Amino acid sequence: MKKINFQHVLWMVVAILLMASTMTSCDSISKKRACRHWSRSYTHHFPNTNWAFEEEVLEFSFDIEDTTQFYDVSLSLIFDSSAVTLTDIPLSLTLNTPDGMQAMSKSHFLLNPRTNSDIKLAEDGKNLEATVVVFPRRKLKSVGTYKLVVYRRAEKADNFGFISLTSTVKVVK
């Protein structure tokens, strides 16, 4: 029978407690700029894989508590390349701040993997994902809820083959 070394057990318990406290306190520490990998994502799934006319304008909201950081605000579009007939999707974007200010930007998704080397295989292993940073390295100066408004300016009313659109806000080093 193997003898239990209590010193090793004690060190393992201390290590586990330290890891658990680090993982659970990261969100509260981020206010103190200790967690540099803070990010939040919000996903909108398209019913019947159709980015329809009724969803031409989409809104994503997110809360910011740390105004000392710089943030990237990006969009990721997951799509079925065999069903999509568009080669690009122009976007108009508005970032509304908690204090009533607005920042506007224009961007677009390039959907052809031959011309856009940033397109990658989505996590599901069968669809593609195109990502664009729509507000790069943005200093968000007000604490509170921000609203990202995405206006799809594609010429067609119904656009099939689109799975989801995800908005991600993350701290930039």
Kindly report the three-state secondary structure assignment for every residue of the chain. CCCCCHHHHHHHHHHHHHHHHHHHHHHHHHHHCCCCCCEEEEEEECHHHECCHHHCEEEEEEEECCCCCEEEEEEEEEECCCCCCCCEEEEEEEEECCCCCEEEEEEEEECCCCCCCCCEECCCCCCEEEEEEEEEEEECCCCEEEEEEEEECCCCCCCECEEEEEEEEEEEC
Q: Which residues pair with 162 in a beta bridge?
A: 79
Q: Indicate if 46 and 60 belong to the same structural domain.
A: yes
Q: Indicate if 105 and 50 belong to the same structural domain.
A: yes
Please determine, for residue 27, whether its predicted confidence score (pLDDT) is greater than 90. no
For residue 90, count other CB atoms closer than 10 A to its CB: 14
The pLDDT value recorded for residue 144 is 97
Check residues 158 and 98 and name the one with the higher pLDDT.
Answer: 98
CA 167/CA 133 separation, integer angstroms: 10
Provide the pLDDT confidence category of residue 104 given band limits of 50, 70 and 90: very high
Domain that holds residue 69: 36-172
Please determine, for residue 28, whether its predicted confidence score (pLDDT) is greater than 90. no
Please determine, for residue 20, whether its predicted confidence score (pLDDT) is greater than 70. no
Average the pLDDT over each of 18-27, 114-123, 138-147 and give the range with the smallest value.
Answer: 18-27
41-52 pLDDT per residue, tens: 999 999 999 999
- What is the pTM for the complete model shown? 0.77
CATH number at residue 128: 2.60.120
Q: Which residues pair with 126 in a beta bridge?
A: none
Q: Indicate if 20 and 45 belong to the same structural domain.
A: no
Q: Indicate if 15 and 69 belong to the same structural domain.
A: no
Q: Indicate if 40 and 26 belong to the same structural domain.
A: no
Number of domains composing the chain: 2
Q: Which residues pair with 164 in a beta bridge?
A: 45, 78
Q: Indicate if 18 and 86 belong to the same structural domain.
A: no
Q: Indicate if 130 and 106 belong to the same structural domain.
A: yes
Q: Indicate if 64 and 122 belong to the same structural domain.
A: yes
Q: Indicate if 109 and 148 belong to the same structural domain.
A: yes
Please determine, for residue 12, whether its predicted confidence score (pLDDT) is greater than 50. no
Tell me the torsion sign for CA atoms 156, 158, 159, 162.
Answer: positive
Q: Indicate if 94 and 163 belong to the same structural domain.
A: yes
Q: Indicate if 6 and 71 belong to the same structural domain.
A: no
Q: Indicate if 46 and 26 belong to the same structural domain.
A: no
52-76 pLDDT per residue, tens: 999 999 999 999 999 999 999 999 9
